[in-house]
Every structure is written in structure tokens, then in C-alpha cells.
């Protein structure tokens, strides 16, 4: 079963409109019926394998939102493509994957927080991802048993004073606490 064109088109149009209000921090790179590729500027952490500590800075994150045939009943799947050395509990990145086979199979998978309902839109997914990438609002795993990168969980649990890494809302019209 394929989703009605109007719901998907409405969500994509809403996302494009939303991106125009982010002062360039959200850019829509590609859209079609199967996926949306976007670039999201956000303060976050990366860590090369040889580094002792992650580097915190503003990075340009490239993400792919894969739209399932059952959308909006089923949630979009998210793939984090760049930077490859992302250091985050909810993202299978280079920093947490030492096994080359596992790196190929799961690199870039994202487990974003939030309960999915059919009322969720692509904008609400992007807002959840922004909060998660910037370690905002507790939207990241603090449990070693429920994460992609245990090293990032340990770092986050030992450094709560650093959070949130990203303190700015994505848009100035975003209501406080809304997703």
C-alpha cells in the first residue's frame, strides 16, 4: 500500500517551508516519494578513532529520511550520512564501530527518540533529530543497553554539564518544548 500523494506532498511542502525559516541551518537537498535528503547545521560531537575526547563544534549533518510505503502509519527511517565520525549514543557512527563488517551493515543508522503516531510529520521528525543531534531536551540514549555507541553514552553520562550542546532553537518561530 502506497501513501496518498496529498499527505506526502503536504508533508514535503511543509518541510520546505519550514527550512526557509531556519536561516540556512536546514537545507533540503533532495526529495522524492521514497526519501528526503537534508543538511542540518547543529552543534554536536564527532570523534576520530585515535582521539581521546570528542570534538564539539557546529557540523553540517547530512541525513536521509527514508519514507516507508506505510507512511504516515509507520515512522520514517533515518540514516546519518555525514559527518561519518559522528559521536552520538543514538547513531551507529565510525566512532562506535570497530568491526568492519558491522560498519558496513549498520553505519549511519539512527534511533531517534519520540513516540511515532500517524500525526507526526516530516517537520516533527526533523525537530526530533535536531534535538537529538544537539543533545537537547534529553533526546538521546543514556542506557548502555539501548544505544549504538556505548562510548558516547559513557561520555554523556560523565559530562552532563556540557548539555545541551546546541542551545539555539532551529527557528525563531519554534515554540519552546514543541516538536
pLDDT in tens, 10-31: 999 999 999 999 999 999 999 9
User: What local confidence, expressed as pLDDT, does residue 131 receive?
Assistant: 93
pLDDT at position 115, please? 78
Strand ranges (E), the chain: 26-31, 35-46, 55-66, 77-82
| pLDDT for the residue 177 | 38
Predicted pLDDT at 3: 53
For the entire predicted model, the pTM comes to: 0.87
The fold for domain 5-162 equals Ubiquitin Conjugating Enzyme (3.10.110)
pLDDT for 179 equals 36
Residue that has been written with the C-alpha cell 547530512 in this structure:
62
Which residue numbers in the chain have pLDDT < 50? 96, 174-179
Give Cα 175 distance to the centre of its chain: 19
pLDDT of residue 113: 63
CA–CA distance, 42 with 88 (Å, rounded to integer): 13
Answer whether 35's CB lies under 8 Å from 64's CB. Answer: yes
Amino acid at each position: 500500500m502506497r501513501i496518498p500523494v496529498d499527505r506526502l506532498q503536504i508533508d514535503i511542502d511543509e518541510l520546505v517551508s519550514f527550512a526557509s525559516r531556519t536561516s540556512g541551518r536546514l537545507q533540503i537537498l533532495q526529495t522524492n516519494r521514497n526519501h528526503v535528503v537534508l543538511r542540518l547545521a547543529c552543534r554536536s560531537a564527532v570523534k576520530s578513532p585515535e582521539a581521546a575526547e570528542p570534538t564539539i563544534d557546529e557540523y553540517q549533518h547530512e541525513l536521509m529520511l527514508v519514507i516507508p510505503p506505510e507512511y504516515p502509519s509507520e515512522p520514517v527511517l533515518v540514516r546519518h550520512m555525514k559527518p561519518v565520525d559522528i559521536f552520538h549514543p543514538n547513531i551507529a557512527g565510525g566512532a562506535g564501530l570497530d568491526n568492519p563488517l558491522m560498519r558496513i551493515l549498520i553505519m549511519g543508522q539512527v534511533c531517534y527518540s519520540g513516540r511515532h503516531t500517524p500525526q507526526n510529520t516530516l517537520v516533527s521528525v526533523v525537530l526530533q533529530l535536531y534535538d537529538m543531534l544537539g543533545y537537547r531536551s534529553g533526546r538521546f540514549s543514556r542506557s548502555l543497553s539501548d544505544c549504538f555507541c556505548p562510548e558516547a553514552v559513557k561520555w554523556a553520562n560523565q559530562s552532563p554539564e556540557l548539555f545541551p550542546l546546541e542551545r539555539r532553537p532551529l527557528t525563531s518561530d519554534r515554540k519552546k518544548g514543541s516538536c
